[in-house]
Amino acid sequence: MDFNQSHSVKLNDGHFMPVLGFGTYASDDVPKSKVGEATKIAIDVGFRHIDAAYFYQNEEEVGKAIREKIADGTVKREDIFYTTKLWTTFFRPELVQQGLERSLKKLQLDYVDLFIIHVPFAMKPGEELLPKDANGQIILETVDICDIWEAMEKCKDAGLTKSIGVSNFNHKLLELILNKQGLKYKPVCNQVECHVYLNQSKLLTFCKSKDIVLVAYSALGSQRICGTWLKENSPILLDDPVLGEIARKYNRTPAQVALRYQLQRGIVVLAKSFKKERIKENFQVFDFQLTPEDMKTIDSLNRDFRYTEPAHFKDHPNYPFHEEY
C-alpha cells in the first residue's frame, strides 16, 4: 500500500480512504455524549476516517460532532471519510436504501463516503435491532447477497455514498459478489476482525489479489465487553509481553505497535478510544517504522484467535467464520 501525503489509500473505484480510522462503537452503558466528545477530539488530533454504523445507535452524536468541526473551520466535509453500515434488519433489496437514508438523517449529512454490508446475513425487518421470537431466539432470514449488492450499487449511483463495500465476509462470500452476473462495482473493502492474534494473512492475500482493501477492526484487542459476543477468558492483547518488548525498543506503546504493524502490512486500521490521551497516542503511528525482523516476530504471535464470535448465527448458511479465511 502506498501512503500518499494524507496517509490514504486509493480504492478500486478511485476514491481515497485514510489508512487510520477512528472507531465509534461503545456498549449501551456508555453515555452517548461520550462518543460525540471523542469524535471531536479525534478530528482535532488528526483522524479523518470515522467508522460508524446504524447498529451503534450513536450516529446523531457522531454526525453532530462532525458538523461542529466543519462549522468551526477545523475540517471541510470533503476532508472527512465517514463509513456507515447496513444493519441486518434492512437486509432486503427494497430496504437497503432506506437503511442508508436512516443513517443520513441521523447524521444530518447528504452523503457518506462508504456504505458497507455489516454482516452477511439477514434478520427479520422491523424496528428491533435484534428481533427475537417468543423463545428469545434471534430471527434470522436467508436473502441472496447478490440482490443486496445490487441495491448497494444503486445507493452509490444515487450519490448517497461514494463507495460501497462489505464487512465480516470470508473469501467465498466475496467471490459470490465478484462472480455475480452484471457486477457493476466491486466491493472496495472488507472490514474484518484483525489483530496480532488473528492476523488474517490468507484473507489479506486474497483481498490484495482482488484489489480489495482489508480494514482491521478490534486491532487493539476489542473492547472486551462482557455478556455479549466476546469469547470468555480471552487474552488481553495489549498486555502481550512480545508486543511490550518491541514497544519499549521503539519508545512507543503496545497500542502504537499493534496499529503500525497493520499499516505496514497494507491494511487500513481502526482504533477506538474515548480517552483523550489515548486518542492522541493512537494517531502517533506515522513517524516510526518497524523493521522486517520485528514484523516477522509480530507475525509469529498469530494464533487465529477471534474475540468476537456471534454464536447465535452459527447455523446460518452465510455464517462467515466456519471457513478458514
Residue of 223, 257, 285, 313 that binds ligand NDP (CB under 6 A)? 223
The region of 105-113, 179-187, 265-273, 293-301 touching ligand NDP under the rule CB under 6 A is: 265-273
* Binding of ligand NDP by 221 (CB under 6 A): yes
Q: What is the nearest approach in angstroms of ligand NDP to the Cβ of residue 201?
A: 19
**Nearer CB in complex with ligand NDP: 115/274:** 274
Residue of 112, 140, 219, 247 that binds ligand NDP (CB under 6 A)? 219
The region of 64-72, 143-151, 196-204, 216-224 touching ligand NDP under the rule CB under 6 A is: 216-224
- Please give the Cα distance from 118 to 169 (Å, whole number): 9
Residue of 8, 24, 88, 89 that binds ligand NDP (CB under 6 A)? 24
**Nearer CB in complex with ligand NDP: 130/158:** 130
Closest C-alpha to 151, from 95, 191, 88 = 95
250 catalytic? Reply is: no
The region of 19-27, 87-95, 100-108, 150-158 touching ligand NDP under the rule CB under 6 A is: 19-27
- What's the 3-state SS for the chain? CCCCCCCEEECCCCCEEECEEEECCCCCCCCHHHHHHHHHHHHHHCCCEEECCHHHCCHHHHHHHHHHHHHCCCCCHHHCEEEEEECHHHCCHHHHHHHHHHHHHHHCCCCEEEEEECCCCEECCCCCCCCECCCCCECEECCCHHHHHHHHHHHHHCCCEEEEEEECCCHHHHHHHHCCCCCCCCCCEEEEECECCECCHHHHHHHHHCCCEEEEECCCCCCCCCCCCECCCCCCHHHCHHHHHHHHHHCCCHHHHHHHHHHHCCCEEEECCCCHHHHHHHHCCCCCCCCHHHHHHHHCCCCCCCCECCHHHCCCCCCHHHCCC
- Please give the Cα distance from 203 to 209 (Å, whole number): 10
Residue of 138, 139, 183, 238 that binds ligand NDP (CB under 6 A)? 238
Instruction: Calculate the CA 305 to chain-centre distance.
Output: 18
* Binding of ligand NDP by 261 (CB under 6 A): no
Q: What is the nearest approach in angstroms of ligand NDP to the Cβ of residue 191?
A: 5
* Binding of ligand NDP by 41 (CB under 6 A): no
| The pairing of beta strand 161-167 with beta strand 140-141 | unpaired
* Binding of ligand NDP by 25 (CB under 6 A): yes
The region of 3-11, 175-183, 201-209, 211-219 touching ligand NDP under the rule CB under 6 A is: 211-219
> What is the total count of residues that contact ligand NDP (CB under 6 A)?
27
* Binding of ligand NDP by 273 (CB under 6 A): yes
Residue of 7, 11, 19, 23 that binds ligand NDP (CB under 6 A)? 23
Of residues 109-148, which lie at the interface with ligand NDP (CB under 6 A)?
Answer: 118
Q: Per the residue annotation, which of 56, 197, 217, 319 is the catalytic one?
A: 56
Binding residues (CB under 6 A) for ligand NDP: these are: 23-25, 51, 118, 167-168, 191, 217-223, 238, 253, 255, 270-275, 278, 281-282
Residues with a catalytic annotation lie at 56
